[in-house]
Structures are given as structure tokens and as C-alpha cells.
Amino acid sequence: MLVEGYIGGIGYRERVATSETLAFLQFPVVGPNRSRYPWSPGSHGWALCCKRTGLGIKAQGFGCFRLVDFLEGIQKNFDEAAKVLKFTCEDYHHSDSCYKLGAYYVTGKGGLAPNLKNAYNCFLKACEKPGKKSINACHNVGLLDQDGRLNDNKPDLIRARDYYTRACDGNYAPSCFNLSTMYLQGSPNIPKDMSLALKFSLKACDLGHVWACANASRMYKLGDGVAKDETKAESLKNKAKQLHKEQQKSVQPLAFGV
């Protein structure tokens, strides 16, 4: 049950990231037909890119991941993209490939059956290996641990807290916010601690999380776990309003021909 007046943590449905289409990077000319791309529909040409000899594991993994950009962004062939991601994650342990494969499993994309356990394992691999999405992956591990459906609907809050902490240490605002709500609400395994709730709310607020600013403002206004400070409360409230206004602007549709 949420503490009245405060905004609680965010469920995995909203926060588990879905697969993005990244900017397409052109491949070198390879293959017997000297095609511009090392892949064509219905072929296994992607293996030429992913298994090129003379390259290290890291370079091979990156090459495969670039190919996924082409399959998603140009060909719109998500089934083949899923195969490449699976190969790249399992054989090369490429962090960003594991992250994106996890997102495919969450949504059932690319012909894959939705499978939270497989998604969790992919996010875990991505979290443990350096990559652009490692921090996001650690956050997703925390979300799925907190959700509990992987463990007979029994949340593992200690494990969730630990992975949120890793992501928060990497300056991922949603993880800092979720940590703050864990300490704000309290549980048998994680006692309520308003000083830690404030600490993580302030960090998430500094990182641009609107609801963290709102919660921190309320703590200062009420003197809840901290000395009352109307000035700080008002300042944080204004920051929350400004962040909310900026977010609203960013989602407004573009107008053409004005």
C-alpha cells in the first residue's frame, strides 16, 4: 500500500524499455555478390557479418548489432532481427544485443513468445557486461525482481534494491526514484527510512525525475523525516512544475503548414 500523498514506484509495464530502432550504420561491401549489404531476405547472409574471421569477439558482436539496425530500420524484418540478437547475445555475450533481446521477449516481438524469464536473463547478462544500455538493463532486472511474477508472485525486494542501486549509481533517474519509494513505503525486508527516501528523491530530482521532485517537496513541507523547510519545499515544487511543463511540450504533436 502506498503512503498517502506520495507518488509510488513505477511498474515494469511502464518502465521496461521496448526495443528502439537505432540509426542505421552502413556495412562494408562483403559477400560473393559484392552486395552493398551482407544480408538479403530469405538468406543467412547475416552469418557472413557475424562470423567473419580475423575479428575479435567484441568486434564480431558489434558487427552483428549493427546488422540488427539494418534489419529493424530498413527491412522491418523483426523476425530475422530476433535471430541475430539471440545469436549475438548467446554466442558473443554482447551487452546491448542482450538488452534489446530482453525487450523483444517482454513484448513478444520478432516472432518470439512473450517470456519474462527469458527477458530477465537477457537483462541480467546486459547488466553484467559493459554496454550503452547496461544501466537500463540493471534497472529492468530490479523491476522484474520487484514485480515478483518470476518467483511465484513473491517479490525479491532485496535483490530489486541492489539492482536499482547499481543503476542509480550510474545516474539512471527511474532507479533512484524507485529506491526512494522503497524506503518511503517500507517493507518487512527493507524498513522505512525517510532519510534515505529523501536522499534518493533528491538525486532523482537532480536527474530530472518530476515525481521525485514532488515527493521531496512534500517531505520538506511536512517535515517528514527532515526538518521543515518551506523554502526548499517551494523550490522543489516549482522544479517539478517546470519539468512537467517540459515533458508536456516534448509530447505535443508537430504542426505543419502554419
Q: What is the pTM of this model?
A: 0.76
- What are the DSSP calls for 202-214, one per residue? HHHHHTT-HHHHH
User: For residue 239, what is the DSSP state?
Assistant: H
Three-class secondary structure assignment of 31-68? CCCCCCCCCCCCCCCHHHHHCCCCCCHHHHHHHHHHHH
Number of other residues whose CB lies within 10 A of the CB of residue 248: 9
Residues 190, 103: Cα–Cα separation, whole Å: 29
pLDDT score for 20: 32
Domain ranges of the chain: 55-170, 173-250
pLDDT score for 65: 75
pLDDT score for 27: 29
CA geometry: angle at 248 spanning 245 and 252, to 5°? 140
pLDDT score for 88: 87
pLDDT score for 93: 86
Domain pair 55-170 / 173-250, same fold: yes
pLDDT along the chain (258 residues), means of 10: 46 38 27 35 48 49 75 87 89 90 94 95 94 94 93 92 97 96 93 96 96 96 93 96 88 48
Residues 91, 110: Cα–Cα separation, whole Å: 19
Alpha carbon distances (Å) from 233 to 47, 51, 138, 204, 222: 58, 57, 31, 16, 9
User: For residue 149, what is the DSSP state?
Assistant: G
pLDDT score for 151: 86
Q: Which CATH number applies to 173-250: 1.25.40.10, 3.40.640.10, 1.10.730.10, 3.30.1050.10?
A: 1.25.40.10
Q: Which residue type does 85 have?
A: L
pLDDT score for 100: 94
Cell readout for 63 is: 558487427
Superfamily of domain 55-170: Tetratricopeptide repeat domain (1.25.40.10)
pLDDT score for 4: 38
pLDDT score for 9: 54
- Cβ contact 95:61 at 8 Å: no
pLDDT score for 250: 72
